[in-house]
């Protein structure tokens, strides 16, 4: 008599799981530990989950972060979704060349992940009057507020209050430096609605250890700006080429017929493959 589906599954045992995470974890248990019953097996699995042996095995292979899912910034902040993204209080600073108004109310926003270094090079125009001191962009509370806006993935927080990233000239950039090496395949971001209609002619670059290499050029993806004034829309995802392992990436303003552009980046996220021996701890 032919066996039923339930009978076949019962005899196949763990092989019905396929090559998934649970089956891989069970291979670290000894047969004797598995034969002691559910309670002892569960305890043994908890010990395996925190063992150095499993941690080494986990990072010995590559790990892919796909564009339609969460990227490396989210992974750094949440430990691959195992904890809540840390939040912090920031003052939404108002500043523009030469003077600074009192900071707005304290708000709670997602903090940049530990290990992720966010830096900027701002080429501001040289003005003919005294309002040309943009040092506030490197100081508190503006600096903490700005780094929070770069990783902020809330599309509703789109407006810009500040002046540090307004009217930048060619050569300005925002850089991510990761604590791990990533073979980047895609990146995603959007811009605040201040000057987004003139945010164009930019490149996405990676540092190969000796020099910066352009992986994506905005003008190849279409002509004109990608966002409209007053309505930034949704984040946009871009593929890159060539692909190679790197830990430093940037978006840079390239030569343009528009001499000055606002550069209010939001939700800059990277996707690709973490090379072996990666660690988010």
Please check whether residues 143 and 248 belong to one and the same domain. Answer: yes
* pLDDT in the model for residue 97: 44
Q: In this predicted structure, what is the pLDDT of residue 107?
A: 74
1 pLDDT tier (thresholds 50, 70, 90): low
Rounded to an integer, the average pLDDT of 84-111 is: 69
Total structural domains in the chain?
A: 2
Closest CA to 178 of 264, 272, 60: 272
Residue at which a domain ends, from 60, 79, 107: 60
Does residue 130 carry a pLDDT above 60?
A: no
Q: What is the pLDDT of residue 129?
A: 44
**Structural domain span for residue 256:** 64-274
Say which residue, 127 or 252, is predicted with more confidence. Answer: 252
Quick check: 125 pLDDT over 90?
no
Could you tell me if 195 and 74 lie in one domain? yes
One DSSP character per residue, 144-183 reads HHHHHHHH---TT------STTSSBPTT-EEEEEEEEEEE
Do 207 and 269 lie in one domain? The reply is yes
- Statement: residue 99 has pLDDT above 80: no
Q: What is the CATH number of the domain that holds 250?
A: 2.60.120.260
H or E segment at 111?
none
Span 207-242, pLDDT tens digits:
999 999 999 998 875 545 677 765 666 788 999 998
Q: In this predicted model, what pLDDT tens digit does every residue of 147-185 receive, in sequence order?
A: 998 998 776 666 666 678 888 999 999 999 999 999 999
Give a yes or no: residue 169 inside a domain.
yes
Q: What is the pTM of this model?
A: 0.77
Phi, psi of 166, deg, nearest 5: -90, 140
């Amino acid at each position: 008599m032919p066996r039923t589906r339930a009978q076949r599954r019962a005899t196949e045992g763990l092989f019905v799981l396929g090559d998934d995470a649970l089956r891989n974890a069970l291979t670290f248990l000894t047969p004797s530990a598995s034969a002691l019953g559910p309670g002892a097996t569960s305890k043994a699995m908890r010990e395996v989950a925190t063992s150095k042996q499993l941690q080494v095995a986990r990072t010995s292979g590559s790990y892919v972060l796909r564009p339609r899912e969460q990227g490396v910034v989210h992974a750094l902040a949440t430990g691959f979704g195992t904890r809540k993204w840390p939040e912090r209080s920031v003052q939404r600073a108002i500043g523009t060349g030469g003077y600074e108004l009192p900071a707005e109310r304290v708000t709670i926003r997602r903090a940049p992940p530990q290990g992720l270094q966010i830096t900027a090079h701002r080429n501001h125009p040289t003005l003919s009057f005294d309002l040309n001191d943009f040092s506030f962009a490197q100081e508190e509370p503006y600096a903490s507020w700005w780094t929070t806006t770069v990783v902020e993935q809330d599309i509703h927080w789109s407006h810009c209050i500040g002046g540090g990233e307004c009217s930048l000239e060619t050569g300005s950039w925002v850089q991510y430096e990761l604590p791990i090496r990533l073979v980047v395949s895609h990146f995603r971001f959007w811009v605040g609605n201040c000057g987004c209609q003139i945010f164009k002619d930019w490149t996405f670059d990676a540092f190969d250890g000796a020099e910066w290499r352009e992986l994506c050029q905005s003008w190849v993806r279409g002509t004109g700006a990608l966002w409209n004034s007053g309505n930034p829309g949704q984040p946009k995802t871009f593929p890159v080429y060539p692909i190679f392992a790197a830990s430093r990436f940037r978006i840079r303003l390239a030569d343009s017929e528009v001499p000055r552009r606002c550069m209010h980046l939001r939700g800059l996220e990277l996707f690709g493959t973490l090379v072996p021996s990666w660690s988010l701890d």
